[in-house]
Amino acid sequence: SLHDALPILVTPLYLLAFFARLKFMLFRQFFDKTSSTYTYLIASGRGREALIIDPVKESTEAYLGLINQLDLKLVRAIDTHTHADHVTALGDLRDATQCVTIMGEFTNAECVSEHVSEGDRIDIDGIRLEAIYTPGHTDESFSFYWNQGDQKAVFTGDVLLIRGSGRTDFQGGDPRKSYDSIVNKLFRLPDDTLVYPAHDYKGMLSSSIYEEKHYNPRLAGKSEAEYARIMNNLNLPDPKLMDVAVPANLACGKQP
């Protein structure tokens, strides 16, 4: 039903047409206010296998509650990269559901059950995601592309945000790699691909490849050198939880 396709957050009208096409899909978008993190729970429908992307430790009970209510079986839990602003729920979800934990092949996280490389596919019960290596925010960041018929979406982690992009000044970040990942990989996806990032700070739920190509102020009409100059001059403070979150996330959420 359309109700099953709507995320937990309020959905703007321009997304309703997309979600209406997902009548056989179950899609939930969670938001963690402390870190402004989006988490995505996806399944083919009630009573089916499910996967979750970028879960936050403090919201573990909320995820498990909804999974139980909808009679889902969580079989995959994915982190797009090693987050620096929150602690992951990968380990807790694995312990609670025996799901397979997944990250990209270049991660140093110690308890990941399965590593993906460029072009690898994650298949579960009617859902298929393709792994795209998109370094730049961190040196191990991956995005995940979903393409079924005329329904397309990409989960970009922190590399591409809505009218922005993930910072590139720690964890092996590199502005030129970020530009290459966005312009030469993500921007080559179909224009109508919806963009679901791991964070947003202005209340936007999603975007599209077309919008970010044309209206992202850091990227639209910018050369690689111009983009690198912008990113190298952001002068942002370190994330408040970085000293706690990074080592905890390397242990899949198990804090020292």
3-state secondary structure 85-144: CCCECHHHHHHHHCCEEEEECCCCCCCCCEEECCCCEEEECCEEEEEEECCCCCCCCEEE
Do residues 174 and 135 lie in contact, with contact meaning Cβ atoms separated by under 8 Å? yes
pLDDT score at 6: 36
Measure the CA dihedral 6/102/143/48, to 10°. -30
Q: What is the pLDDT of residues 156-212, one digit of tens each?
A: 999 999 999 999 998 899 999 999 999 999 999 999 999 999 999 988 999 999 999
Residue 242 backbone phi and psi in degrees, to 5: -55, -45
| 219-237 per-position pLDDT tens digit | 999 999 999 999 999 988 8
The structure tokens listed for 224 are 């690689």
Pairing of strands 207-208, 49-53: unpaired
Q: Tell me: the pLDDT tens digits for 88-128?
A: 999 999 999 999 999 999 999 987 999 999 999 999 998 99
For 58, the token pair is 């403090």
- Predicted confidence at residue 238, as pLDDT, reads 80
Alpha carbons within 13 angstroms on the beta-carbon side of residue 33 total 1
Find the mean pLDDT for residues 137-152: 92
What pTM does this model have?
0.89
Q: For residue range 101-112, what is the model confidence (pLDDT) as tens digits?
A: 999 999 999 879
- C-alpha–C-alpha distance, residues 25 and 21, integer Å: 9
Structure tokens at 234: 């952001």
Residue 68 Cα to chain centre, angstroms: 23
CA distance 152 to 106: 26
| Residue 256: CB atoms within 10 Å | 6
- In 3-state terms, what secondary structure has residue 77? strand
Question: What whole-number distance in Å separates Cα of residue 180 and Cα of residue 223?
Answer: 11
Distance CA(95)–CA(41), nearest Å, equals: 18
